[in-house]
Chains A and B, each alone.
Chain A
Amino acid sequence: MIQIENVKKSYTDEVAIGPLNIEIPKAGLTSLIGPNGAGKSTTLLMIGRLLDLDAGQITVANMDIATSKSKDLAKILTILRQENHFVTRLTVRQLAGFGRFPYSKGRLTQADEDIISKYIDFLDLTALENRYLDELSGGQRQRAYVAMVLCQETEYVLLDEPLNNLDVARSVQMMEHLKYAATEFGRTILTVLHDINFAAKYSDRICAMKHGQIAAFGTVEEIMKPDILTDIFETKIEILQGPYGPIAVY
């Protein structure tokens, strides 16, 4: 369970986030949605300890992220940002191998290698595993990063806009993988999404943010209501019942 209590973050006098109070239960896929500048990514970064809090407390699986050791947290929590560029040239497998760092400290055992193989196969990267990242397409690279994050075998996985720059087919594929990871591997996945309909189709829960506050939190059915979405996005939104569940139309 991720518990957020009275968390605040202020950038300037006008732009501030919080106080946030929310409990995100264990297991399943939770999506963070909301308009630009609502504070979704900031919230995610704070949970992932990439951004310091100005006030309040965040605990993940009863560990306070501010006081717990980073290497202990790395075994229960991982975060992936939307853009990663590093100058070192890595192959897909080497990148995924870094996901084992919290356990192996860089000395990979056979057990580590088996875990790496498992997730590389799961994400359909088997044939590409010895390719360099800069030789891959955007969708393939994104899956390679997800492979690294899954190799970390943490209970909690935070993803900041994993569908950024992916086309519809690649987005569907990515969400299927994430959904599968949540249900079959028992991960708790928290992801920032821009597309309400992707959130509606694949999430177990949706958390909507607006003006640095949590506007609504609940199951897909509870959030996918015209009045709630219209209010959050300040745009007229209707809900239709499609073959795979509710669809937002705007």
Chain B
Amino acid sequence: MVKNVMPQTAGFESIQTRHHSNKLWTWPFIAAIIAIIALGVISLFTGVYDIKGQADGKEMFFTTRVPRTLSLMLTGAAMAMAGLVMQLVTQNRLVEPTTTGTIEWSGLGLLFVYLIFPAPSLLLRMTGAILFSFIGTMLFFLLLRRVKLRSSLIVPIIGMMLGAVISAISTFIGLLFQMTQNIESWYIGSFSNIQIGRYEYLWIIVLVTVLIFICADRLTLAGLGQDVATSLGVNYNRIIFIGTALISLAVGIVAAVIGNLPFLGLIVPNIVSMFRGDDLRSNLPWVCLLGMGTIMACDILSRVLIMPFEIPVSLILGTVGSVVFILILLKQRRSKRTTR
């Protein structure tokens, strides 16, 4: 006589997740889209320049406001997705471009471009940033594959120390060639300079987003490790390469056009999975939307807090992001069983 030891709850949960993934166009999602559109409209009409009153208001509206709002949306989606992909590949919730050194690598890339070319074009700077973030991210993934981890918390700690090494190198080079204030101002991301002609490269992000949607399942498999992925018929090295390339594209473009945007890739996917559970594929649209919403909200704040001046949005993200990050950590610490 063998008793049925199958726990009841497991079956129930799996039905729940299946239910999630089938329905995307639920009422909350439509409400979220409406909220994003509303934020976009507010973003369009926030600013010092009086668009309705001035004669050239309409022109200004299309040369600065529309590009700004568009680039906010694209950037928000890009950084949030980059974070999500990194979390998928590493199977670690606390990983994102700031906690892996990717951002510092792209800064180093920019610095090198400035060193080699006297007045580099945006395309050159972008290429440098993308290339170096690719190297840095690849290095980090390789490192994670090589070492045995005792705790998932150690990953962001090591990642941020790696970032510190890279910025020590940048500081050294910067000091040698007297470019430290250049680096300083780069590390602060801001949308205040965005206008027609300066943001168009961000459209590449749409392509990146589509590719991430297509690859999502394979990236999840890759996150389970080389052995599992291979036995399920996925070319592990290729998918890791593609994932890293997608991350570096997103991070590098944003780094060159906007600057450093800390923690966006961490807080957005974590908040989404807090509310919706861990079905990553169906979370993707939510991550995009929430990424857009978060950065638009922060940018609107950055424009109104000390009007008529602007606070760089990275400051607000850095402050809000670190608070949210700490809250996520504390929540995780409470729900997690350390010993059994």
Contact = CB atoms under 8 A, between A and B. Distances in A.
Contacts of A236: 1-2
The interface size bin for chain A is 10 to 19
Contacts of A45: 339
Contacts of A41: 339-340
Range for the number of chain B residues in contact with chain A = 10 to 19
- Centre residue among B9, B337, B340 by max chain A CB count within 10 A: B340
Given A11-B337, A51-B339, A85 B150 contact: yes
A235 interface: yes
B5 A234 contact: yes
A42 B339 CA distance: 8
Interface in B1-52: 1-3, 5, 9
Interface in B100-114: none
A149 B127 CA distance: 60
B38 to A, nearest CB: 38
Nearest to A51: B339
A235 B150 contact: no
A151 to B, nearest CB: 25
Contact of A234 (B3, B150, B340): B3
B148 to A, nearest CB: 10
A42 B5 CA distance: 22
Contacts of B339: 41-42, 45, 50-51
A42 B1 contact: no
Contacts of A15: 337
Interface of A: 11-12, 14-15, 37, 41-42, 45, 50-51, 85, 230, 234-236
List 6 tightest A-B contacts by C-beta distance, closest first.
A234-B3, A11-B337, A234-B5, A236-B2, A41-B340, A42-B340
Given A11-B340, A15-B337, 12 more contacts: A12-B335, A14-B9, A37-B340, A42-B340, A45-B339, A50-B339, A51-B339, A85-B150, A230-B1, A234-B3, A234-B5, A236-B1
